[in-house]
Structure 1
Amino acid sequence: MNKRAILAIILVNYVMIVLDTSVVLTGLPKIHLELGFSDSGLAWVQSAYTLTFGGFLLLAARAGDIIGRRRMLVAGLALFTLASLAIGAAMSPAWLVVARAVQGLGAAILAPSTLALLQTSFAEGAERTHAVSLYSATAGIAASVGLVLGGVLAEWMSWRVGFLVNLPIGVAMIWAARRYIPESPRSSGAFDVAGALASTTGMSALVYAFIRSVSAGWGDALTQGTLVAGLLLLAAFIVNERRAAQPIMPLRLFANRQRASAYAARMLFLGAMIGFFFFTTQYLQTVLNYPPSLTGMAFLPMTMVNFAVALQVPHLTRRFGNARLLAFGLAVCLAGMVWLSRVSPQDGYWLAVALPMVLIGAGQGMTLSPLTAAGIAGVSAQDAGAAAGVVNVAHQLGNSLGLAVLVSLAAIGAHELHGAALLAHRVTTALTASSVMLVLALLLMVRQGLGQRVLSGVRP
């Protein structure tokens, strides 16, 4: 087994997923104007993707255990690539949102296969710690490239090109996967379709309720109905998982309190981070009047520091331990988010935006790798796909639900504002709420004492 080739394939696939997420961020204002999205409707460009991504991850992870992880990897790549082509050709908001949802489904098939392959291909201990650190650090450089590339393409060519670049990458990765990755043993079992449908429709209803509340208000009957329906569907999902013979989300994964806390903290952390990217991108272009290309480069203080710090995680773990590193990373990120939440139209970029970004980038670099390792530590081989799925579900649902909540909160008190003043209000409100999410994540980690016992098997 060629472990270097397998790791390269895993990382490139992860780059493609992260790159796609960040490319769309700097293109949002152009998409807004060209296709005629409403202010609240624009959130669906991101939420349609993250909802299907998060909603079908568990079913796809289970399918990888039953059908074979290489088969699922190739299938996910094919669907993701074709959906990217459809997005590049989108002519209306509905077309774009549907294509993004299909792309999210492709990512849902692809992502758990890559993380499960990482877990089963690299031995627990120093070897896996190194692989997980590279996996997490890759997000930093991919986000950097994606934000800059998305901005440059949106300004000089078209935001559509940012999606079309997936075509050659996807074709090359399909070939490489078939060439270098051995098929995993297939296990017998059944698919928990009821669980997948209940979880996906439940989360979709919740996100829809929060986004609809921006325009219709919480007194609207449809807003209230979808909120209640979402909660009931998620309750039905938990009941189903208790009774299903082969659930897509084995509840035994949550028996370990530290691991369960890592999943919850990941949702809170990613909810805060998607708010940072979504609202700061619009602030830079609308309030500071940056062109898309300069907007992408304006994120470099955050993304480059993120990448550099993430590469040092194995060394930092040996020196300080996982618990201290994780708590410190969350605290540093929180400091940057609070600082950035005080930004105003009169402030300059370097002091009010760039310096807080440095703290946010350093904090994220220290946080994601320990959270990822905690989510898959101590899990048996038979649950490798399910554990990888839950890690990715926490990631994507944190993105989708977190963004929906922040969009809803950002609308409070903004009805009489217009133009740059309106967006500045939305940014400060949303990033203040993001800071609260980081506080909750930090308290959760301190309370549960996530650290040495859970992560002892993945320390270098």
Structure 2
Amino acid sequence: MLSLTQLIVVLDGTIVNIALPQAQVSLGLSDTERQWVITAYALAFGALLLLGGRIADYWGRKRTYLVGMVGFGLASVWGGFAQSGTDLIAARGVQGLFAALMAPAALALLTVTFPNGRDRNTAFAVFGSVAGAGAAVGLVLGGLLTEFADWRWCLWVNVPVVIVGLIAGIALLRESRAEGDNRYDVLGAITVVAGLGSLVYGFTLAENGWARADTIGFIAAGVGLLVLFVWIESRVAQPLLPLRVVTHRVRGGAFLLQAIAGSVMIGALLYLTFHLQIVLGFAPLLAGVATLPLTVAIAIVAPIATRLLSRFGPRPLMIGGPIVGAVGLALLSRITPGGSYLLEVLPGLVVLGIGMGMLFVPLQNVALSGVAPHDPGAASATANASMQIGGSVGLSIFTTVYASASGHAAAASPAALVDGYSAAFVAAAIGMALAAVIAFALIRGPKEDLLPTGDRAPIHAA
């Protein structure tokens, strides 16, 4: 059930990708509004996750999870009935807000339910695999709904999942929360939300030029606010993000890896769907199905990686996975305007899926390893925020790279489009290679130190 929650949270980051052309015509969206349909969700989600994690820790993880589910379902209904671009973008932002409550609560519940041992490894392998496959599943489902129903069903499809989650959550979950004096860090919440929002918005503006005053201003303001946030967190008694969560070398490395993985799964896959539909002429459903080998590869690799994780620890997987993923993206960069899907797209997708499967299985386990009983909500929020903010920033960077390589033409030729898509894949491959270097440098130590042991203190259950 908790993994199903993670599925819809990740899935909603990509399910509208294939529906965007139809939604753009239906609502008369500009190209800028079209991008914000994706960015609004990731921005609200990523910027509010830390606050959502603390609310889950302090107010109660089950209660926060259920409220998040209800709000997410209502926002999905609103988005499905949108009559303008403003409506749709606002609804996507509200979806992200409630996802920021739901996601860290679900991951924190998983953490306290499986504190250590083989069961924890298995639980996190399932959770991580679902997170990894969710983006690709969203593309398939989005294509199916867009072609045979309507793009609006890409939002309404969340409603039955929310109903199942609510029923199961009420019946099966036990309440838990952090003990002690739990006060909210209001100033920290304001600065981190404003900082992340400004940073992501600045990177979005970079599509129109990195040297523009507004681009530089928003990025600089975002960095400054995040520096202020770190200063605040080092001085308040009850920080929104205890610095011990991110300054731990191994966890910090895992958060960086999640950011890069998010940029690939959210940003790079968007340009793959554009190539399939615009250049190769695939219908929405066929374009979605064409991404399915990525999901299948992740699903096949996950159980194998789980066994390897227990035997060798996470370090080999977290170094090897990004290397394999980079090779897959390099293969995708070889696309041509008149090329074959079977020869130019499929091999890269399969190799990318193998690499992502190797990476996702240990990633969240390591990101939450050794977290103090007071902090699982904050740590899980940081893990999710890393992926969403990474996806937002990655999408803006890939968009800038694409626009530069394709010549910024509004109606570019297929050759120019392919040049842009290929450049975006190369940028993503460089990011994955950097992830391997980060893993090599930071994910160090015996496997017993990298994975949880049985020394976790008890967590209050209500």
TM more than 0.5: yes
Q: TM-score, normalised by structure 1?
A: 0.93
| Residue correspondence of structure 1 range 234-249 to structure 2 within 5 A | 234-249=226-241
* Change over 3 Å in CA distance of 1:453–1:404 after alignment to 2: farther
Displacement of 1:153 in angstroms is 1.1
- SS for the counterpart of 2:210 is coil
Q: Does 1:457 align with 2:452?
A: yes
* Change over 3 Å in CA distance of 1:267–1:443 after alignment to 2: same
Q: Quick one: distance in 1 between partners of 2:216 and 2:134?
A: 39
Matched to 1:457, the amino acid is P
Q: Quick one: distance in 2 between partners of 1:148 and 1:273?
A: 14
Q: Quick one: distance in 2 between partners of 1:321 and 1:180?
A: 31
Matched to 1:434, the amino acid is A
Q: Quick one: distance in 1 between partners of 2:347 and 2:390?
A: 25
Number of the residue aligned with 1:275: 267
Number of the residue aligned with 1:199: 192
Q: Quick one: distance in 1 between partners of 2:60 and 2:408?
A: 55
Count the aligned residue pairs.
Answer: 450
Number of the residue aligned with 1:337: 329
Per-residue Cα deviation, 1:154-187 (whole angstroms, up to 9, x for no partner): 1121111121011122123222212221211464
Q: Quick one: distance in 1 between partners of 2:416 and 2:31?
A: 11
Could you tell me which runs of 5 or more consecutive residues in structure 2 were left unpaired when the two chains were aligned. 455-462
8 Å CA contact 1:40–1:407 kept in 2: the answer is no
Q: Quote the RMSD (CA, aligned, Å).
A: 1.9
- Higher mean displacement: 72-81 or 313-322: 313-322
Q: In structure 2, which of residues 394, 409, 423 is the aligned counterpart of residue 429 of structure 1? A: 423
Number of the residue aligned with 2:201: 208
8 Å CA contact 2:321–2:355 kept in 1: the answer is yes
8 Å CA contact 1:275–1:431 kept in 2: the answer is no
- Higher mean displacement: 127-136 or 231-240: 231-240
Per-residue Cα deviation, 1:381-410 (whole angstroms, up to 9, x for no partner): 111111111111111111111111211222
Q: In structure 1, which of residues 312, 316, 321 is the aligned counterpart of residue 308 of structure 2? A: 316
Could you tell me which runs of 5 or more consecutive residues in structure 1 were left unpaired when the two chains were aligned. 1-8
Displacement of 1:413 in angstroms is 4.2
| Residue correspondence of structure 1 range 148-163 to structure 2 within 5 A | 148-163=140-155
* Change over 3 Å in CA distance of 1:239–1:137 after alignment to 2: same
* Change over 3 Å in CA distance of 1:164–1:437 after alignment to 2: same
* Change over 3 Å in CA distance of 1:291–1:68 after alignment to 2: same
Q: Quick one: distance in 2 between partners of 1:86 and 1:42?
A: 17
Q: Quick one: distance in 2 between partners of 1:265 and 1:18?
A: 17
8 Å CA contact 1:40–1:211 kept in 2: the answer is no
- SS for the counterpart of 1:412 is helix
Q: Does 1:114 align with 2:109?
A: no
- SS for the counterpart of 2:17 is helix
Per-residue Cα deviation, 1:237-256 (whole angstroms, up to 9, x for no partner): 11111122111111011332
Q: Does 1:48 align with 2:40?
A: yes
Per-residue Cα deviation, 1:265-319 (whole angstroms, up to 9, x for no partner): 2112221232221110111000001010000100111111111211322212234
Q: TM-score, normalised by structure 2?
A: 0.93
Number of the residue aligned with 1:405: 397
Matched to 1:447, the amino acid is A
Matched to 1:433, the amino acid is A
Q: Quick one: distance in 1 between partners of 2:123 and 2:382?
A: 19
- Higher mean displacement: 449-458 or 337-346: 449-458
- SS for the counterpart of 1:290 is coil
Displacement of 1:142 in angstroms is 4.0
- Higher mean displacement: 187-196 or 56-65: 187-196
Q: Does 1:170 align with 2:165?
A: no
Displacement of 1:141 in angstroms is 5.0
Q: Quick one: distance in 2 between partners of 1:404 and 1:144?
A: 20
Q: Quick one: distance in 2 between partners of 1:231 and 1:310?
A: 36
8 Å CA contact 1:73–1:113 kept in 2: the answer is yes
Q: Does 1:230 align with 2:225?
A: no
8 Å CA contact 1:137–1:311 kept in 2: the answer is no
Matched to 1:203, the amino acid is L
| Residue correspondence of structure 1 range 299-448 to structure 2 within 5 A | 299-415=291-407, 417=409, 418-448=412-442
8 Å CA contact 2:80–2:155 kept in 1: the answer is yes
Per-residue Cα deviation, 1:343-383 (whole angstroms, up to 9, x for no partner): 12121101110110000011111101211111100112111
- SS for the counterpart of 1:184 is coil
Q: Quick one: distance in 2 between partners of 1:364 and 1:458?
A: 26
